[in-house]
Structure 1
């Protein structure tokens, strides 16, 4: 094949344009700090980077879910701690009322103290985190304790997605606390029964066992909450580690090695200058030059 002046010029321009494109790519990498600025730069690496970014977003959402679940559980544990103190106070008053030296006036006074605790139980039953009721199941917009009674019957669990296919229950069903039946009585009915016995002048000692059953049930649920708190804290720590690892891998794939790119840029500038110099020499002669 005969190589013509036009072919030589076309090839030279193509090579110079390629050099400019490569030079532009290096300059863009230095300016942005990223090794890949568009998919065409490196299709395989671009897909990997998008995958890592997607994983990072997903991990961040799982972490926020876990932290929200922790807030819910910690608020629940605080409320159950308050309820435990109320129940222990009720037991102290019951023991005091069962003392045979109490006259009727003293028993009436103790009964008033016990009835006051029912109001405190109602406040705890209607505890909130933000604008959501803790002990209302999934019906978090409606107060579960109304008119001196726990009226909520919602048995649904609230679960948070904290990992791929991992869901954690974060709520305690209010019905299992405030409507738990011990000897046919729920938590408020037990205290009302004790207060009623004292008002009648009777000894409430036989109801101590019922009160203890309520306390034991309460402590059992607090233990479950504590276990779930530990699990979620471990999950948050694991998600933190995953987030750090993913960011590190993403950085290695996405961020540019400035020292290497600057060196490549310098080399490319040298190559471009050589190409321009060589091209100028190769297209300089014309037909007139040969006719002289």
Structure 2
């Protein structure tokens, strides 16, 4: 009976020390690596959560990249529309100069030539492409405005502005249907012709004002979409912060707590080893004395 009891004692002690050694090794690894979870076998549910978080982080990076791209395109469109507006305002100023009736035919032709230059400058702006090489005001087509055989500028773009995905199931429009801007070319052409002919510019100037309003409306739309992207970026950043905190709680080691637990484990292991060494030195004859 004594042999069986001693055998059981040895077995239990060895099992306990082995477990304590495993626990100590695990804690030391957690402290050294800073991670308390390094394999799925340690906690399958937590490991699955981490895998999901990693996928979400990758999706976040892709969405953030798309937002940055879309924001850049919209910023370029806003800057272009601002430049177009400035050119149209310059055209209005020239029209007011002619409308004063104090200049002759030669001066009118000079002003008309200046308007032609403004028109060509605006055409270059309206045909600009974004960083992807896509016409900003082409409505999804390969071109926006073209000069016909008669010199008239017409819209040759499409009616399906391009979009970029920025969130789950959400896209943002980044290119424009330039047909709403076509009026400015018609107004500029009519204004130059009217000045050369000495016509009354009242109605023509009003059309130019409406064209300027259309450009302002387009710019306001671009600005609103830019603000939406800013808000979406802030939302993504807030989600990312929360996800990182949750990941840390699952994966990262609380070093202070781990060191305390390691010291406790080593103390128990040392005491167990000492007790085992002492008792294992006893023999059956020692117990019979």
Q: TM-score range by the shorter chain?
A: 0.7 to 0.9
| Residues 1:242 and 2:239 aligned together | yes
Query: What secondary structure does 2:35 align onto?
Result: coil
In the alignment, is the contact (CA less than 8 A) between 1:144 and 1:151 conserved in 2? yes
Q: 2:164 aligns with which of 151, 160, 164?
A: 160
Name the counterpart of 2:131: 130
Q: Which structure 2 residue ranges, 5 or more long, are not aligned?
A: none
Matched residue, 1:183: none
Secondary structure of residue in 2 paired with 1:167: strand
Task: Indicate how the Cα distance of structure 1 residues 7 and 82 shifts in structure 2: closer, same or farther if over 3 A, else same.
Answer: same
Counterpart check, 1:192 vs 2:194: no
Q: Which residue of 2 aligns with 1:182?
A: none
For 1:150 and 1:239, locate their aligned partners in 2 and report how far apart those are by CA, in whole Å.
Answer: 41
8 Å contact from structure 1 (residues 60, 243) kept in 2: no
- Shift of the 239–150 alpha-carbon distance from structure 1 to 2, 3 Å rule, reads farther
Q: Which residue matches 2:214?
A: 217
Q: Root-mean-square deviation (CA), in Å?
A: 2.8
Q: 1:290 and 1:234 mapped to 2: Cα distance?
A: 80
Deviation per residue, 1:143-172 (Å, 9 max, x gap): 534447355422223223333333222322
Give the drift of 1:29: 0.3
The question of whether the paired residues in 1 share the 8 Å contact of 2:140 and 2:175 is answered with no
Cα separation, 2, equivalents of 1:160 and 1:41: 41
The total of aligned residue pairs comes to 283
In structure 2, C-alpha distance between the alignment counterparts of 1:152 and 1:13, rounded to whole Å: 85
Give matches, 1:82-161, under 5 Å. 82-132=83-133, 133-139=135-141, 142-147=142-147, 149-161=153-165
Alpha-carbon separation, structure 2, partners of 1:277 and 1:257: 30
Q: Normalized against structure 2, the TM-score is what?
A: 0.84
Q: Which residue in 2 is equivalent to 1:22?
A: 23
CA distance in 2, matches of 1:210, 1:248: 58
Matching residue within 151, 174, 179 for 1:175: 179
What is the rounded CA distance, in whole Å, between the counterparts of 2:253 and 2:157 in structure 1?
59
The whole-number CA distance in structure 2 between the counterparts of 1:20 and 1:119 is: 82
Structure 1 residues 158-188: Cα deviation after superposition (integer angstroms, max 9, x where no partner):
22333333322232222332x3xxxxxx322
CA apart distance, 1:122? 1.5
Of residues 258, 265, 269, the one that matches 1:272 is 269
Distance in 2 between the 1:27 and 1:107 partners? 89
Whether the 8 Å contact between 1:107 and 1:198 is mirrored in structure 2 is yes
CA distance in 1, matches of 2:119, 2:250: 62
- 2:155 touches 2:178 (CA, 8 Å); kept in 1? no
Which of 252, 265, 271 does residue 255 from structure 1 map onto?
252
Structure 1 168/131 Cα, relative in aligned 2: closer, same or farther at 3 Å? closer
TM, length-normalised to structure 1:
0.84
